[in-house]
Amino acid sequence: MRDLETIVGPENVLTDPAYLATYTRDISIVQETWPEAVVRPAFTVEVQRIMRWANKYKVPVFVTSGSCYQGYGGVTSLTPGCLVLDLGRMNRILEINDKLYYVVIEPGVTYRQLVKEFDEKYPHLILDVIGGSPEASVLGNAISRGVGHTWWPYAEHFECVCGMEVVLPTGEVVRTGSGQLSGSKSWHLFKWGYGPWIDGIFTQSNFGVVTKIGLWVAPRPEAYDWFVIACPKEEQVGEMLEFTGKVMIRGIIGGGATIGNALSSLSANITYPWEINGGTAPLPDEWIQEKAEEHGVGAYNLFGGIYGTEEMVELRWKQLKEIMRDYPNLYIMDRDMALRHAEFAHRVLYDHLGYPHRSLFGWAHWRGGGLSFYSPIAPFTREDALKMQEIGKKITAKWGFDYMMKYVSGLRAIHHVGLLTYKVPDEVERARHCFLDLIKTYMDHGYYPYRCNPWADDYILSRLDAGYLKVITKIKRALDPNNILMPGYYCPEVIE
Ligand SMILES: Cc1cc2nc3c(=O)[nH]c(=O)nc-3n(C[C@H](O)[C@H](O)[C@H](O)COP(=O)(O)OP(=O)(O)OC[C@H]3O[C@@H](n4cnc5c(N)ncnc54)[C@H](O)[C@@H]3O)c2cc1C
């Protein structure tokens, strides 16, 4: 501890249980796990020294940049007694290039911070934001391969990462992409560099601590318009998904378009009706439908943005309406009615324009504090949409929960972000069983989680291709011979 204090100053090595408590778990199903201490470096060189120290004493290190990793698991959830490396003090915006539209940021830079900077000094730039906390780390989300809500490619955050600085588990620094050449003029402009491209191995991984990224940001479009397209019946979800794929692939709507089922939107407006069945069974379909009608919500609702110049927006509206003719069950919701609904309004007036907010945290409060995301990927087809729904409804009902979900759009496939909500602590154990059952069943049908809670890591890894696992474990062993950086995180610990 004295060594660590020498590296970062005593005020940045924290062991007070009241402080450590915030790192023990997030709102998801992870087990509460206590770290030994939290260390808060301010510079890359301090991160290097900490990693060398950790190797010397064989202390496992878990990293957080935003410290609130909500819904996908806590930072320390794998190894009790570890050291948490909290990069929140490394929160410098190192460069904003508003001619070539990129930023260079450290891990502690939050969505709120970067958006504020844009608003005050660079109103012609737009940052794609997440539906999660405005205090989340922009870098942390990009390297978790999170997705946002404006348009492609910006909504697929890792797609826009260009050039990284990474501290390896043994303390050396590596610069990726065109950063290979000292003094390179294109580090944050040309991704691929020369030879094998290694950036991907530092995402969803325990191969390094990312201390800097270049991130492409978008020019604020001249014109923007929005819509909410709904379908009245849940069996029409297949049409909704197929339609979304068509307008996405043709570039008619922005990439971060979101579809949600009725309950996932209603939960923003009403409280959970415990009086119906005490939470032991899913809410009846008739009740959901009745409430959906009362609140003007479809069985599924697609919120989309159309961006470009005035002429482009007009043309894209025309194209969208033409494609809609093939889908008579879908309808465009009246705009005033859509804006009266809390979630729809936040989506189309904030998310789509790059302003983060906390309104979706209603999901966690809906049933009593618990929210865990399970996120299998689905192709844009009718059959897959129906299968996803069938599995989700069946398995959540089996464990007495409700099927609540969002689809967040990709370019060829879509992220089915399931929202498992439950009461803490009473329903946590049941939620864990349900969560694993969902992951297993979706995987059995070929639906792969795009990202997952560390709590289910072992199970997911056990299902992956042996050749792939061999490669990643070899890389891990080479880069982290003492297995001290986030052991077990997205990579098996037992190496053949
Ligand atoms: C209501 C709600 C809505 C949400 N909506 C979205 C959404 O629209 N899109 C989305 O993508 N997510 C969403 N999320 C999930 C979550 O909030 C985000 O993914 C968010 O980015 C988590 O950030 P963080 O700052 O809390 O975590 P971080 O501290 O950034 O950690 C993220 C992960 O990356 C690792 N990590 C962090 N920094 C580093 C580093 N420097 N080097 C190596 N590894 C590192 C951590 O160990 C951790 O596993 C939502 C969550 C909630 C509760």
The answer on 246 and 168 residing in a single domain is no
Residue 264 lies in a domain: yes
Residue 302 lies in a domain: yes
The answer on 254 and 139 residing in a single domain is no
Q: For residue 216, what is the domain's CATH number?
A: 3.30.465.10
Q: Are 453 and 72 in contact (CB under 8 A)?
A: yes
Q: Is the pLDDT of residue 327 over 80?
A: yes
Residue 407 CB less than 6 A away from ligand 1:
no
Q: What per-residue string of b and e applies to 359-390 under the rule 16 or more CB within 10 Å gives b?
A: ebbbbbbbbbebbbbbbbbbbbebebbbbbbe
Tell me the pLDDT band of 494, cut-offs 50, 70 and 90.
Answer: low
Q: Is the pLDDT of residue 495 over 70?
A: no
The answer on 317 and 423 residing in a single domain is yes
Mutate to test the pocket of ligand 1, among 133, 161, 452, 484 (most ligand atoms within 8 A of CB): 133
Q: Is the pLDDT of residue 496 over 70?
A: no
| Closest ligand 1 atom number to CA of residue 75 | 47
Residues 6+ apart with CB under 8 A from 55: 169, 170, 171, 482, 484
Q: Is the pLDDT of residue 25 over 60?
A: yes
Which of the pair, 74 or 11, is modelled with greater confidence?
11
* Of 87-96, 195-204, 269-278, minimum mean pLDDT range: 269-278
Mean pLDDT of 328-351: 94
Residue 206 lies in a domain: yes
Residue 132 CB less than 6 A away from ligand 1:
yes
First to last CA, the chain: 34
Q: Are 60 and 83 in contact (CB under 8 A)?
A: yes
Kindly tell me the sign of the dihedral angle through the C-alpha atoms of 216, 219, 221, 225. positive
> Nearest to residue 175, comparing CAs of 184, 188, 166, 183?
166
Residue 164 lies in a domain: yes
Residue 454 CB less than 6 A away from ligand 1:
no
Mutate to test the pocket of ligand 1, among 141, 157, 258, 409 (most ligand atoms within 8 A of CB): 141
Residue 71 CB less than 6 A away from ligand 1:
yes
Q: What tens digit of pLDDT does each residue of 247-302 get? A: 999 999 987 789 999 999 999 778 899 999 999 999 999 999 999 999 999 999 99
Q: Are 106 and 212 in contact (CB under 8 A)?
A: yes
Residue 458 lies in a domain: no
The answer on 346 and 213 residing in a single domain is no
**377 vs 395: CA distance, rounded Å:** 17
What was the pLDDT predicted at 87? 97
Tell me the pLDDT band of 455, cut-offs 50, 70 and 90.
Answer: confident
**CA quadruple 269, 274, 278, 279: dihedral, nearest 10:** 20
Residue 65 CB less than 6 A away from ligand 1:
yes
Query: How many A from CA of 132 to the centre of ligand 1?
Result: 8
Per-residue tokens: 402: 């409700």
What was the pLDDT predicted at 361? 87
| Closest ligand 1 atom number to CA of residue 202 | 43
Residue 485 lies in a domain: yes
- Structural domain tally of the chain? 2
The answer on 392 and 286 residing in a single domain is yes
What was the pLDDT predicted at 178? 97
The answer on 150 and 67 residing in a single domain is yes
Query: How many A from CA of 253 to the centre of ligand 1?
Result: 25
Residue 485 CB less than 6 A away from ligand 1:
no
What was the pLDDT predicted at 76? 63
Q: For residue 297, what is the domain's CATH number?
A: 3.40.462.10
Residue 252 CB less than 6 A away from ligand 1:
no
Residue 75 CB less than 6 A away from ligand 1:
yes
Tell me the pLDDT band of 170, cut-offs 50, 70 and 90.
Answer: very high
The answer on 277 and 148 residing in a single domain is no
Q: What tens digit of pLDDT does each residue of 46-91 get? A: 999 999 999 999 999 999 998 666 899 876 666 888 999 999 999 9
What was the pLDDT predicted at 77? 63
Mutate to test the pocket of ligand 1, among 70, 156, 424 (most ligand atoms within 8 A of CB): 70
Residue 293 lies in a domain: yes
- Strand runs labelled E in 184-323: 209-216, 218-219, 223-231, 258-261, 300-308
Query: How many A from CA of 222 to the centre of ligand 1?
Result: 30
Mutate to test the pocket of ligand 1, among 48, 65, 476 (most ligand atoms within 8 A of CB): 65
| Closest ligand 1 atom number to CA of residue 133 | 17
The answer on 37 and 63 residing in a single domain is yes
Mean pLDDT of 235-250: 96
Cis peptide before 153 (omega within 30 of 0): yes
| Closest ligand 1 atom number to CA of residue 69 | 26
Residue 372 CB less than 6 A away from ligand 1:
no
The answer on 194 and 230 residing in a single domain is no
Residue 459 lies in a domain: no
Tell me the pLDDT band of 19, cut-offs 50, 70 and 90.
Answer: very high
**347 vs 102: CA distance, rounded Å:** 24
In residues, how long is the chain?
496
The answer on 228 and 213 residing in a single domain is no
The answer on 195 and 261 residing in a single domain is no
Query: How many A from CA of 488 to the centre of ligand 1?
Result: 18
Nearest CA to ligand 1 atom 27: 69
Q: What tens digit of pLDDT does each residue of 108-152 get? A: 999 999 999 999 999 999 999 999 999 999 999 999 999 999 999
**CA quadruple 188, 191, 197, 202: dihedral, nearest 10:** 50
What was the pLDDT predicted at 414? 93
> Nearest to residue 419, comparing CAs of 312, 264, 194?
264
pTM for the full model?
0.97
- Residue-number span of the structural domain to which 182 is assigned: 1-220+464-496
The answer on 198 and 70 residing in a single domain is yes
